[in-house]
Amino acid sequence: MKLATWNINSLAVRLPQVLDWLAANPVDALGLQELKLVDEKFPFDALKEAGYHAAAFGQKTYNGVAILSRTPITDVVRNIPQHTDDQSRVIAGTLDTPDGPLRLVNCYFVNGQAPGTEKFAYKMRWLEALHRWLQEELKVHRRLVLLGDFNVAPEDRDSYDPVGLKDTIHHTVEERQHFQALLQLGLTDAFRLFDQPEKSYSWWDYRMLGFQKNRGLRIDHILVSEALRGRVIACQIDRLPRKNPQPSDHAPVVLTLG
């Protein structure tokens, strides 16, 4: 089966591209981030016609996440339990698969703006809360996938300019330590289970011809629990949609499980 993540930077603008991509890439489930719309405006009908169930957690203007799935989504959780947050950043759900239930946790991690800002402090608090919750979630769900826009470039090779951007947002030691802490829960970065092309990125700034010059970051990730690690067959970034007219600044990442 195939699972994917894609920050689409406004579902209102990008719905046609999402439908086109799903037609060409009929994945079993897709986690979306940055919907930028309220649930009343979520396109349940268009997605149903495309063959997908959906669970949404939106808000006005900013943030917003959703899970699309070929099969029904159960036990849906919105945001991190016992962590007060007025921003819609997390949606989790359980999918039925031939090998049993699979827990999908789809997150739009905090951007954090810059070290030393209040937004960065919020990012740190959010990351701590996510870690605490996932520790519990992993005890209940052996087969768990954590995916989304992490807003962290885990290693220098995940950045087009690790020297020039050292200690800036997405690159700080603190953010990378939080990423490592997630791995220490038993999660594995599926992308790095395989040989990958050098300079593989999932996000490119709209400005300064970022994509054309491949000045990007790998900040969209798919992490799998120990029980799933041996089932991972492939993990790839699909750069094609970034070439579309009016693209999202992020590309989808696709995981194949056997």
Partner DNA sequence: ATGTCGTCAGTTTGACGA
Please report, as ranges, the residues that interact with DNA according to CB under 7 A: 9-10, 12-13, 36-37, 60-62, 110-111, 113, 119, 206-208, 246
Considering the complex, state which of residue 9 and residue 135 has its C-beta at the smaller distance from DNA. 9
As measured in angstroms, the least distance from the Cβ of 37 to DNA is: 7
CA angle centred on 9, ends 4 and 13, rounded to 5° = 105
Considering the complex, state which of residue 13 and residue 76 has its C-beta at the smaller distance from DNA. 13
Helices 173-184/118-140 angle, 10° precision: 10
Considering the complex, state which of residue 10 and residue 71 has its C-beta at the smaller distance from DNA. 10
Q: Is 108 known to be catalytic? A: yes
As measured in angstroms, the least distance from the Cβ of 14 to DNA is: 7
Q: Is 161 known to be catalytic? A: no
Q: Could you list the residues known to form a binding site, using ranges.
A: 7, 34, 149, 151, 249-250
Q: What would the two tokens of residue 51 be? A: 């063959």
Distance CA 177, CA 173 (A): 6
Map tokens 């007060």 to a residue. Answer: 84
As measured in angstroms, the least distance from the Cβ of 84 to DNA is: 17
Per annotation, catalytic residue among 28, 149, 158, 220: 149
Question: How far is C-alpha 109 from the geometric centre of its chain's CA atoms?
Answer: 8
Q: Is 238 known to be catalytic? A: no
As measured in angstroms, the least distance from the Cβ of 203 to DNA is: 8
Q: Could you list the residues known to form a binding site for Mg(2+), using ranges.
A: 7, 34, 149, 151, 249-250
Q: Supply the residues annotated as catalytic.
A: 108, 149, 250
